[in-house]
Amino acid sequence: MEGTGDTNKKTLFNYEENENNRYSQAAHVTKVGMTVNVLLTGFKFVTGIVGNSSAMVADAVHSLSDFMTDIAVIIGLKISKKPRDSTHNYGHGKIETLAAAFIGLALTFVAFGILYGGIQKVFAYLQGESLPAPNSIALIAAVLSIVSKEWLYHYTTIYARKLKSDALIANAWHHRSDALSSIGTMIGIGGSILLGGKWVVLDPIAAVILSFFIFKVAFDILYKNLNELLEASLDSETYRNIERVLTSTEGVLGFHELKTRKIGNAMAADVHIEVDRNLNIVDAHEISTQIENRLKEICGSNGHFSIHVEPCSDSAYHDKDISRTNNRKRS
Give the span between the Cα atoms of 209 and 323, in whole angstroms.
55
For the chain, 331 residues long, the average pLDDT of each consecutive 10-residue run is 44 52 78 86 85 74 72 68 60 68 81 82 79 75 89 90 79 81 77 72 76 80 78 79 88 87 77 88 88 83 81 58 40 35
Q: What span, in angstroms and rounded, lies between the C-alpha atoms of 37 and 65? A: 9
Report pLDDT digits (tens) over 161-172: 887 777 788 788
Question: What pLDDT shows up at residue 150?
Answer: 92
What confidence score (pLDDT) does residue 168 get?
Answer: 81
Local structure of 157: helix, strand or coil: helix
pLDDT per position as a tens digit, 32-56? 888 888 888 888 888 888 877 766 7
Q: What angle do CA 120, 138, 135 make, to 5 degrees?
A: 85
Please enumerate in sequence order all residues whose Cβ is within 8 A of that of 157, keeping only pairs 6 or more positions apart, or say none.
169, 172
- Cβ burial 208-238 (10 Å sphere, 16+ → b, else e): bebbebbbebbeebbebbbebeeeeebeeeb
Predicted confidence at residue 147, as pLDDT, reads 92
What's the chain's length in residues?
Answer: 331
pLDDT for position 153: 92
Q: State the Rg of the chain over Cα.
A: 26
Answer whether 64's CB lies under 8 Å from 194's CB: no
Q: Which domains does the chain have, with CATH numbers?
A: 3-230 (1.20.1510), 236-329 (3.30.70.1350)
Residues 93-142 have pLDDT tens digits of: 667 677 778 878 887 887 887 788 778 878 887 887 766 667 788 888 88
Please tell me the pTM assigned to this model. Answer: 0.58
Strand order in the sheet with 254-263: 254-263, 266-276, 304-312
Let me know: does 88 contact 69? Beta carbons within 8 Å.
Answer: no
